[in-house]
Structure 1
Amino acid sequence: MNSALSVRASILKKLPKFIASALSSFHSTAMATLESLNFDNLALQRLPIDPVSDNYVRQVNGACFSRVSPTPVKNPKVVAYSSGAMALLDLPDEECRRGDFAKYFSGNVLPPGAESAAHCYCGHQFGYFSGQLGDGAAMYLGEVVNNKGERWELQLKGAGKTPYSRSADGRKVLRSSIREFLCSEVMHNLGVPTTRSGSCVTSDSYVTRDIFYTGNNIQERCTIISRIAPTFIRFGSFEIFKGTDRETGRKGPSNNRPDLLPQLADYVIQTFYPKIWEENSSDLEQMYLAFFREVCLRTARLVAKWQCVGFCHGVLNTDNMSIVGVTIDYGPYGFLDRYDPDFICNSSDDGGRYAYNKQPEICRWNCGKLAEALQPLLPLSKSAPVLKEYDEAFEAEYWGIMRKKFGFLREIPNDRELMDGFLETMYRTGADFTNCFRILSKLQSAADILALLEYLLNQCCSAAQYRKAFSPQMDPTQLQMLLLLQSSNPELLAMLGKKADALQREMEMIQKAEELKGLTPEKKKESDRKLWMEWLGKYADRVGQEDPNGNRVQIMNSTNPRIVLRNFIAQGAIDAAEKGDYSEVRRVLRAFQDPFDESIRYSDFTAFDEAVEGPEANVTNVDDDAKSDNPSCSRPPKKCRIEYDARPPEESIIRVS
């Protein structure tokens, strides 16, 4: 608590009770201004800071943070802000609409009390220890304690170079910033623990980017988002003390400072796990065990929620795993369209390490790496058994949510078999994950089967799309050479960046493609109809065993979202924004305030505008400086419709880096 709050508390004690109560009540609801955010910056008080003040790329020894200032941008302008996220800082809409808001949230001006710094951490990336990483583009501004007593760390991402930027420029561009800004808020509204994003601010400063890695460089606008979370400390934060790795030869920058590990662990436990601190501080080993257990359980429950909404993170390195169990660092993420358990959203993950169906085991693996990092405080003999509890927590959370998605309020034998059968039918028909789950609440009895059948068939992909989904990715000659290298010199294959998993996956694709050669549109439609009819019959029988007077439908519709942030939705907002029109970003943000809402008519774009934007829905917000040459989808509602609850277009190129 800062000194002003301490003085206030002492004054209140001396006042008559009714006056103190009134003043206290006023304070608890009072909102802040950009100049009066209640910063206390506890992390910088409790954790070691780099003594070097110059901002240049280096290995940072003996420190968790390096002080660094944001690099100003030209003419910052607001793309969008999230009222809900800003409210966590006690900032009302009036403050977010101020003319100088963009200056504060671009880093051009620091709010009073802020202390900018970059966090040092390491990470296992794609299974290999990479040594020092750190905040190469993000900057800690401080921690705000709001009027509810909640602590929120505030960051700017894309604010310029830090000692951890390596060869990069510390900047982010409009497209990647919009994706993270929107997804942070969408995930929160889907009920998934996540970091929040308060604002997206672009500028007239530019950086060079090669979008498709083809050598065709373009100039893109520097864009900064604000991120909000209890803390951005992650698994990799504890790996800065790691000794030399036997596989990569790399080591943590503070490997010679084991005395700092308990300092970091104690800070995290006391600040973010206070109950564990209070109950176990007299027995340190028990405290670290309880801490590790809680991190594992939170992580297990988090990834179960990802699986249930069809979310794929894409880069589940240990440096992208939050120590408080929230989703962190939105890069090449994706939501399932066609249900494919092997879905890979990251084009650089050719081996499928971070595929959708691998996420639970990868997060478990990452928990194991955290256990190794904590080994000086907690023997592996004590932490290893906790990983079994991870499995149990995941299963309980996953199947608990799945039962709600299917409307199974009673537990009956063979329920899991029926639920697995639904997933298998979606896979074999190439059906849409989100829409198929959402429609299930419409089935009340066998009389509804035919209506649902027609809808589900419309959610299945075409024969051509299905064949394309399983088409091999490698040139046959290249594949043969790599297979030969795998058998003769696997070490060299690894040095070339190719893994056995990638080759195995390619062989499986070739086999599947061969099986699908004879798949015609007629054969697929016939097969799809048969598969869905068989499953729907079993499901109708099972639904008949539920209480007809229960709240099954309400539970299903509050568990199965109507819309998720599909790539084509995010890309539509990006395309408009790159032409200077930010209204589509704001419209998407507003639409996803309740992704379970049944009332909005997405097929009627004008009605949709009115539903989410209010009476000023058709007023276009255009940045004239962005030289918008073509109309965006958010301008002519009658000619350009974005149906957010529709299946994605067949062809779309998504730029995510």
Structure 2
Amino acid sequence: MIWRNIFLPAKRSTLSFCKRMSSVDTAKMAQGGSDAHPLSGLEFDNLALRALPLDTSREPGSREVSGACFSLVTPTPVKAPKVVAASRDALSLMNIDDRGIKSDDFAEYFAGNKVLNGSQPAAHCYCGHQFGYFSGQLGDGATMYLGEIINKKGERWELQLKGAGLTPYSRTADGRKVLRSSIREFLCSEAMHHLGIPTTRAGTCITSDSRVLRDMFYNGNAKNERSTIISRIARTFLRFGSFEIFKPVDIQTGRAGPSVGRDDILKTMLDYTLTNFYPEIKEKYSDEEAYVEMFREICHRTASLAAKWQCFGFCHGVLNTDNMSIVGITIDYGPFGFMERFNPGYICNGSDDGGRYSYKKQPSICRWNLERLAEAWQKVVPIEKTEAVVKSDYDAVYNKEYMGTMRKKIGLQSEREGDSSLIEELLATMRRTNADFTNTFRALSTLQLPGSPEFEQSKSKMLTKVLSTCLNLDELKATLKPQMSGNQLQSLVAMLRQNPAFLNMLGGGRMNAITSELQKLEKLDALKDTTEESLIEEYTAKWNQWLDAYVTRLEKEVLDKDFDAMNMNRTELMNSVNPHFVLRNHIAQNCIDEAENGNFAEVQRVLELLKSPFKDCVSEASNTTPAPVDGASAAELPASHGQYTAVKTPLWALGLVVT
């Protein structure tokens, strides 16, 4: 075990390659000489491993790690690593430019086959409440901390590899990730950043000829898939679960953290977090008060983050305490989803039968997780003080962020009584008409202010756009088709008629799944006499009813007669928070399909589109797409981006399930 004091002076080690540089070498580097390695400017300063207790054992296999926050590990090489895609924006945070990306051994370093000099691979020990139950030790089972890089601006960024091999926390897994999950996390990390939502970044996606066995749907149909590694970048990857390693035996699960009773380490972790990520609080407050104020800031950031997710229709899917960042950013992208048609009960995770992490429950789950964090700190910070912070601050901060963003999304520049009801009714109308969440908000920006010469014409056009995002009759029927067979449902209905209490006896996710299937049947039955014309008529009436209230509210926004300027400002405001392009499941799936067939260019193309999510015309963004990292010209890229500009998601894609 190695202990070092957090307040020791930092020891920085500049990356070197095999030999000591001569004065000639140094001169060539300064002049951009060909002898200088493209990655030679990286500067590692691995503060976390100096400040926090480190397990130096190299004992192979999974094991409980007591009294440490990190364990030293060694990445496991893969066969023939190759670059799928690279984010130049993210890599620039570490001073890596195109020369570094195009260097011959770039893929080797970012696959873990070679270790950058100055880096110290390690895996982080943490615990977590998973789906509401304490699971004991979890840790980085497939992820490795490489170190912390100081960039030219003096910023500190932690670099990780995900999928780089076994660690002491791998449990029964193999420490690997596959192409499909890696592409999804790579793209979504960057998509969220460009939407303005706090997030970890993704620098690279590297695949290989090494294979791992995976059963994607847990149905016995396992197949060999490409072992793939992504690099992740953040200020820190500490999470709520990092502080749960001290948790005593849990009454429900009988599990405990690996470092129970080590209050000294808890205080060290709190001091490390306070000093490095909340220095303004450390400077202003002292002792216990500083910890409470740090908790308050974590509470505020978490509430604000949850509000942003809701405003952009993002569903995380696995909001366990081990997936909640201590600095209030989105981390660990798994079965996430951007909501298609608005549904408050939207569940993006096919494994979440009970809907614990559904879209509508995200804010309350984040609050619940903060309460678990308060429990984790209680040996050093009085729990009555941190719980009081959650009670007094969380909802207030969430509501302020949510309403502030939602007002912008519908073009309101002032606050008035009734705005909340107007927004709630908008969402209810989306729900009743099966409207697309993202595209409906975007369409609203085309409405001119009442009193403008083009108001009535723009209102008609806007209504047509909104209606075009709604499901037609055939699409609606297809989405209501039960997943259970007719015989299964008939048997269930018969049992329920004989014993109505049977449904409650099932409990949990099974009851929710069956209830959902029965509700689908009822809705499908109600459409028997519906025609396409009558459905459109019904949708139109519902939207006109909301539009009447919306127009009345917009009339209060008109302060003068300079309608041109006011309309322009309103449109710019709305289009700055209402994306035209988000990472829908079918877009990610198309990238995966192309990549699995050997075409990596589509991943890079979609990455470029995600960098300009608020542009009106996606094709304009694609026209400026730089060549992919393998050197192909823009002219050689497939012209498949056109399918992403559709008004709504294709019918086949509405049934995509991510586990």
- TM-score bracket, normalised by the shorter chain, equals 0.7 to 0.9
Say whether 1:449 aligns with 2:459.
Answer: yes
For 2:352, the equivalent position in structure 1 comes to 349
Q: What is the rounded CA distance, in whole Å, between the counterparts of 1:50 and 1:178 in structure 2?
A: 32
Cα deviation, residue 396, structure 1: 0.1
Compare 120-129 and 258-267 and name the one that shifted more: 258-267
Distance 1:105-1:286 versus aligned 2 partners, 3 A rule: same
From 107, 111, 116, give the equivalent of 1:102: 107
Note the C-alpha offset of 1:219: 1.3
Would you say the 8 A contact 1:449–1:537 is kept in 2? no
Q: Distance in 2 between matches of 1:45 and 1:532?
A: 60
Does structure 2 conserve the Cα–Cα contact (< 8 Å) formed by 1:352 and 1:502? Answer: no
Of 217, 229, 238, the residue aligned with 1:233 is 238
CA contact (8 A) 1:32 1:92 kept: no
> Match of 1:593?
611
Q: In 1, are the aligned partners of 2:354 and 2:510 still within 8 Å (CA)? A: yes
1:530-557 C-alpha deviation (Å, 9 max, x unpaired): 1112222332333233243332111111
Matches within 5 A, 1:52-131: 52-131=57-136
Q: Against the structure 1 CA distance between its residues 105 and 390, is the aligned structure 2 distance closer, same or farther, given a 3 Å change threshold?
A: same
* 1:412-462 C-alpha deviation (Å, 9 max, x unpaired): 332222222211111100011111101111101341211111111111012
1:374 has 2:385 as partner: no
Deviations along 1:465-506, whole A, 9 cap, x unmatched? 33444555554346887999996998x967xx7476556656
> Match of 2:536?
525
Which residue among 321, 326, 331 is the counterpart of 1:323? Answer: 326
Supply the distance in 1 between the matched residues of 2:493 and 2:267 (Cα, whole angstroms).
Answer: 49
Q: AA paired with 1:529?
A: T
Alignment match of 1:466 (pick from 466, 473, 476)? 476
Counterpart CA distance in 2 for 1:479 and 1:586 is: 49
Sort the Cα spacing of 1:82 and 1:430 in 2 relative to 1 into closer, same or farther, 3 A.
same
SS at match of 1:99: coil
Identical positions, percent: 52
Report the equivalent of 1:648. Answer: 649
Q: Given the superposition, is the C-alpha separation of residues 601 and 37 from structure 1 closer, same or farther in structure 2, using an over 3 Å criterion?
A: closer
TM-superposed deviation, 1:644 = 3.7
Structure 2 vs 1, CA of residues 642 and 127 (structure 1 numbering), >3 Å: closer, same or farther? same
Aligned equivalent of 2:624: 611
- Quick one: which amino acid aligns to residue 393 of structure 1? V
Aligned partner of 2:651: which letter? E
In the aligned structure 1, how far is the partner of 2:599 from the partner of 2:50?
42
Distance across 1 between alignment mates of 2:185 and 2:100: 23
CA distance in 2 between partners of 1:297 and 1:486 (Å): 45
| One of 436, 444, 464 as aligned partner of 1:440 | 444
1:172 to 170, 177, 182: 177
Deviation at 1:643, TM superposition (A): 2.4
User: Over aligned residue pairs, what C-alpha RMSD do you find?
Assistant: 2.7
Cα distance in structure 1, aligned partners of 2:493 and 2:68: 46
Aligned amino acid, residue 299 of structure 2: C
Structure 1 residue 250 corresponds to structure 2 residue 268: no
**1:131 touches 1:251 (CA, 8 Å); kept in 2?**
yes
Aligned counterpart, 2:164:
159
Alignment CA distance shift 1:143-1:311 (3 Å): same
Partner of 2:404: 400
**What is the identity, as a one-letter code, of the residue corresponding to 2:475?**
Q
CA-CA distance at 1:94 after TM superposition: 1.4
The CA deviation at 1:378 is 1.9
Q: CA deviation at 1:523?
A: 2.7
Match of 1:643, SS state, is helix
Residues 289 and 80 (structure 1), Cα distance of their counterparts in 2 relative to 1, 3 Å cut: same
Do 1:609 and 1:617's aligned partners in 2 also have CA atoms closer than 8 Å?
Answer: no
Tell me whether 1:554 sits opposite 2:572 in the alignment: yes
C-alpha distance in 1, partners of 2:167/2:494? 44
Q: Distance in 1 between matches of 2:570 and 2:399?
A: 22
Match of 2:591 in 1: 573
Output aligned runs, 1:19-38, within 5 Å: 33-38=38-43
SS at match of 1:612: coil
Distance 1:419 1:438 in 2: 15
Residues 1:537 and 2:548 are matched in the alignment: yes
1:266 and 2:267 aligned: no
Pairwise mapping of residues 261-340 of structure 1 onto structure 2 (< 5 A)?
A: 261-281=266-286, 284-340=287-343
CA contact (8 A) 1:280 1:286 kept: yes
- After superposition, the Cα gap between the structure-2 partners of 1:341 and 1:617, relative to the gap in structure 1 and judged at 3 Å, is farther
Report the alpha carbon displacement of residue 654 of structure 1 after superposing the two structures with TM: 3.8
1:259-316 Cα shifts (integer Å, max 9, x gaps) = 21111111111111111122223xx221111111111110000010111111000000
> CA 1:379/1:514 → structure 2, altered by over 3 Å: closer, same or farther?
farther
Cα distance, 1:48–1:485 mapped onto 2, change above 3 Å: farther
Q: 1:393, CA displacement in angstroms?
A: 0.3
Instruction: Report SS of the residue matched to 1:202.
Output: strand
Change (3 A) 1:379 1:483: farther
Q: Which residue of structure 2 lines up, in the alignment, with residue 414 of structure 1?
A: 418
CA 526–239 in structure 1, closer or farther in 2 if over 3 Å, else same: same
Identify if the C-alpha distance between structure 1 residues 224 and 614 changes in structure 2 by more than 3 Å, giving closer, same or farther: closer
| Distance in structure 1 (CA, Å) of the matches to 2:409 and 2:501 | 46
For the residue of structure 2 that corresponds to 1:455, the secondary structure is helix
Q: Give the CA deviation at 1:3.
A: 5.0
| Count, aligned residues | 610
Contact conserved, 2:496 with 2:503, CA < 8 A, in 1?
A: no
The answer for unaligned runs of 5 or more in structure 1 is 7-25, 621-633
SS at match of 1:642: helix
Deviates more, 1:383-392 or 1:340-349: 383-392
Give 1:594's aligned amino acid. Answer: S
Is 2:239 the counterpart of 1:221?
Answer: no
Normalising to structure 1: TM-score of the pair? 0.87
**Structure-2 change in CA distance of 1:567 and 1:276 (3 Å):** same
Question: CA separation in 2, counterparts of 1:278 and 1:5?
Answer: 28
